[in-house]
Structure 1
Amino acid sequence: MKIRPFRPADEASVIELWHACGLTRPWNDPHRDIERKLSEQPELFLVATEKDALVGSAMVGFDGHRGWVYYLAVSPQHRRLSIGRALMQEAEQLLVERGCPKINLLVRSSNTEVIAFYRKLGYTQDDVVSLGRRLIHDTP
């Protein structure tokens, strides 16, 4: 397994992976999400490959105050092989290199399997409420 930065040729495979992992939502156009990420810190958009197959992704960002991870995904056929753990270790290392003091991520409260995964990696639930407001509405 190899972790490397996203390449434009990966787009279709990444979106297919996100669909297979249930990460896409009607209000988030995955093509636009990728386009937006490539405009800011594109070197922090990671993919994991096994031979020629794309098997994982992680979209990482640092705003100077906190690091964030989005779209951490591992192909259902490649789970329990430490690919997610390796992607998170790479994300953490890249953030540490930038002087990032803390990493945050969002997990849907109903996704107990993923919450358990992050707890095994040492992540804890912060006592906060996540609020959001859409500024640009994507239309499919």
Structure 2
Amino acid sequence: MTELRIRAAGPEDLDAVLAFWKVAAEGTSISDDRDGVERLVARDPESLLLAERAGELVGTVIAGFDGWRCHLYRLAVHPDHRRQGVGTALLTAAEDRFVRLGGRRADAMVLTRNATGQRAWEAAGYAPEEQWRRWVRHLTEK
């Protein structure tokens, strides 16, 4: 099997990432557009991590840090590359980034209906916190 490469996405990768999420990610988000991802990479150039094998995009994770908490979004692995260590490698890279930045706690956002994602996060050692409920407001609807 070809070696896996993890790297930060650049502006030139964004169209490929958006197309990849349509195949590999469960559901879409209001910010899954060129402008939203462009803002992410401009604000924090190291936050969108890509996994590549033989030059092919096979996985992504957004590893955001706000100076206090670490946030994980869009862990996605192409269906043809699942169960081959891609997700684990991405999470290891994300957690290493968080440690370098001084992060001490990470949370992961996953759709309730995404059973595959729920199992993946649990297998990675992340547990749901029943004491918290996450409330979301789409600011573009104001």
The answer (yes or no) to whether the contact 2:60–2:76 under 8 Å persists in 1 is: yes
Q: How far apart are the structure 2 equivalents of 1:74 and 1:27? A: 20
Distance verdict in 2 for CA 1:9–1:22, change over 3 Å: same
| Cα shift at 1:39 | 2.3
Question: Residue by residue, what CA displacement relative to the aligned partner does 1:15-46 show, whole Å, maximum 9, x if unpaired?
Answer: 11100024453733421221121122111211
Q: How far apart are the structure 2 equivalents of 1:114 and 1:79? A: 12
Matched, 1:132 2:136: yes
Q: How far apart are the structure 2 equivalents of 1:26 and 1:4? A: 23
Q: How far apart are the structure 2 equivalents of 1:26 and 1:87? A: 20
The CA RMSD measured in Å over matched residues stands at 1.5
Matched, 1:107 2:107: no
The answer (yes or no) to whether the contact 1:4–1:47 under 8 Å persists in 2 is: yes
Give the structure 2 partner of residue 42 of structure 1. Answer: 45
Question: Residue by residue, what CA displacement relative to the aligned partner does 1:60-95 show, whole Å, maximum 9, x if unpaired?
Answer: 111111100111111111111110111001000100
In the superposition, the TM-score normalised over structure 2's length comes to 0.88
Give the structure 2 partner of residue 77 of structure 1. Answer: 80
The answer (yes or no) to whether the contact 2:25–2:76 under 8 Å persists in 1 is: no
**Structure 1 unpaired stretches of 5+:** none
Q: How far apart are the structure 2 equivalents of 1:11 and 1:37? A: 10
Matched, 1:32 2:35: yes
SS at match of 2:6: strand
- Range with greater deviation from structure 2 (16-25 or 101-110): 16-25
Flag as ranges the 4+ runs of structure 1 deviating above 6 A. Answer: none
Q: How far apart are the structure 2 equivalents of 1:54 and 1:22? A: 13
